[in-house]
Chain A
């Protein structure tokens, strides 16, 4: 027995389904009933009921690409703010290729407090703070571009189904867009105007994330903005 329409907005505690269904993300099961545990949109996939959250914090997960800011320097690494309830650690071995002498070498040469980095989550569990790495091609210190912050819950919408939305943005705004799973997005384009357009589009996606036909509307919006400028 299903008690909802697809993509309906549900509130915590709302009864979603009863009987032979399994509880997906942001839902919980009590007896044979499935309830929503977050404010969001319900979706049914086969026998599983999901809720897509409308707002959430970022909980690190191994393999995620994130953008963070160096907050502090320890003897053996850096402390990084990744817009999450948990502070991330970047160890020296995960940052630089050559041997490191703790007594002599100065870590600030590589990364200093306030620097932004593009990193990947190596490991995280409930008992330990997340570990990051930048020893992979493309990762490391961010030297140019602009940063936009959105709720981490909106990131899947900004990427879109099979990256359709993000590809549209890249193509139409001619910007390089790097999405951090933690809700921080890096944009670097040929001119500040291009970057501004991309930021505008991303903010609109975040605002209207729970509506349908969004990709088409964003395409139209970008075209209109370009016309105004031309």
Chain B
């Protein structure tokens, strides 16, 4: 630990008052953009992320098309106002890398072979960044894909674990990420029991790693539950409205 900031207090609570294995408060909404085929919006703590999906649609330029499956294209982008100091709008090296990493986390979940010669485009826009944006972006993109009616093997839920002051913590925020000793984002397909993204920054012992991974999977399972609720909520609301209309 840098020593300047105290990330865990005497009671074992974190800077925002969370316990080590607690997620931030999460709000998910599906179908927020009418021009996109599918969309989702997630607020997780102070991070706010919007994801939109277009397709499967005709692919331009044509020569990129694959004869046996669709291609998945993903753009992770941070809005100029998403961080404290204005971020230039052009994609940075970091954003290009995250686009690739998120695409690869989603690819195993999508039945791409059902739509040969087409493209599925995902746009992830970070409106406000406070740590964990690659995980939230992945979670939001999976929701948007499902909302677009694209066939999938499973939803993808993602969540990070890290270490601050020698304690393993779940779902890091910006300061814990920057000042902590380790950060490990994990994307998980809960029904299949498969991990589609695993990165690590900093250092953990083998024992800590095993424990951290279990914590991350637990976190992903909680997020997955919220994803399912969010997807159903859009349609359940209409159903209930109709039913109350019938009763009255």
Contacts and interface: CB of A to CB of B under 8 A. Distances in A.
Given A85-B118, A213-B246, A11 B239 contact: no
A11 B149 contact: no
A126 B66 CA distance: 11
Interface string B139-150: 000000011111
Interface of B: 37-38, 55-58, 67-68, 109, 111, 115-118, 146-155, 189-192, 227-228, 231-232, 235-236, 238-239, 242-243, 246
A53 interface: yes
**Which range contains the number of A residues in contact with the other chain?**
20 to 34
A35 interface: yes
Interface string A130-143: 00000000000000
A37 B238 contact: no
A28 interface: yes
Contact of B192 (A13, A38, A213): A13
B116 A13 contact: no
Given A211-B239, A217-B242, A11 B56 contact: no
Nearest to B119: A85
B191 A35 contact: yes
A11 B228 contact: yes
B67 to A, nearest CB: 7
A39 B146 contact: yes
Given A85-B118, A211-B239, A13 B191 contact: yes
26 contacts: A11-B146, A11-B155, A11-B227, A11-B231, A12-B146, A12-B154, A12-B155, A13-B152, A15-B191, A35-B191, A37-B111, A37-B151, A37-B152, A39-B231, A56-B149, A57-B56, A57-B149, A85-B55, A85-B57, A85-B118, A86-B58, A126-B68, A127-B67, A210-B235, A211-B242, A211-B243
Given A210-B239, A211-B239, A217-B246, 12 more contacts: A11-B155, A13-B155, A13-B190, A26-B151, A37-B152, A39-B231, A53-B149, A55-B38, A55-B148, A57-B115, A127-B67, A207-B238
A210 B242 CA distance: 11
A87 interface: yes
Interface in A180-210: 207-208, 210
B39 to A, nearest CB: 11
Interface in A122-166: 126-127, 151, 153
